[in-house]
């Protein structure tokens, strides 16, 4: 059974200390103010983080949320693109992820149109933006990644419908 945190005095440092969730805090030399600070630290809500801090963990947590709060097609769209990215960079942690990882993944597919490249970058950026808003991560490592312009379609939808014989 784990011990509950409790302040202790270090004579060599002439200060009170406490370890909370594996992090040691210096509470100061005065006993009364040290215990006051200890109670303040204990009253803070525990910070939630993605358990593994891996890119896959962020994607999984985001996809669980998307499944509950968005349309099924939206979930499928994000899941497909996130899986594509994870095949290119399977073992990355959030603190290791850099914008060039995403850019190199997109650049490795010269056959993708600019609009598709943009959508893939959005699909990888969105889980990190969501995780930062929800408090799972401190900062979004790919927040400032530039995306290509979406461009224009070569053919209009109505022309495609006429070619395919689709009646609306």
pLDDT in tens, 99-117: 999 999 999 999 999 999 9
DSSP 25: E
pLDDT score of 162 more than 80: no
The number of residues in the chain equals 168
d(CA 105, CA 120): 10
Q: Average pLDDT, stretch 22-39?
A: 92
C-alpha pair distances (Å), 73 with each of 2, 69, 76, 80, 128: 44, 12, 5, 11, 20
Helix (H) or strand (E) run with residue 154 in it: none
Per-domain boundaries in the chain: 8-43, 52-168
pTM of this prediction? 0.62
What is the CATH topology of the domain spanning 52-168?
A: DNA polymerase; domain 1 (1.10.150)
């Amino acid at each position: 059974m784990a011990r509950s945190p409790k302040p202790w005095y270090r004579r060599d440092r002439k200060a009170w200390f406490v370890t909370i969730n594996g992090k040691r805090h210096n509470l100061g030399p005065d006993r009364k103010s040290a215990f006051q600070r200890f109670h303040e630290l204990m009253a803070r809500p525990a910070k939630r983080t993605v358990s593994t801090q891996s890119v896959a963990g962020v994607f999984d947590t985001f996809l669980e949320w998307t499944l509950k709060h968005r349309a099924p097609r939206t979930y499928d769209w994000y899941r497909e693109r996130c899986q594509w990215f994870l095949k290119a960079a399977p073992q990355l942690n959030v603190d290791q992820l850099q914008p060039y990882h995403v850019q190199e993944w997109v650049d490795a597919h010269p056959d993708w149109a600019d609009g598709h490249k943009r959508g893939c970058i959005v699909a990888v950026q969105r889980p990190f933006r969501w995780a930062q808003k929800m408090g799972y991560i401190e900062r979004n490592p790919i927040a400032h990644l530039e995306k290509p312009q979406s461009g224009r379609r070569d053919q209009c939808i109505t022309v495609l419908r006429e070619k395919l014989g689709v009646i609306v």
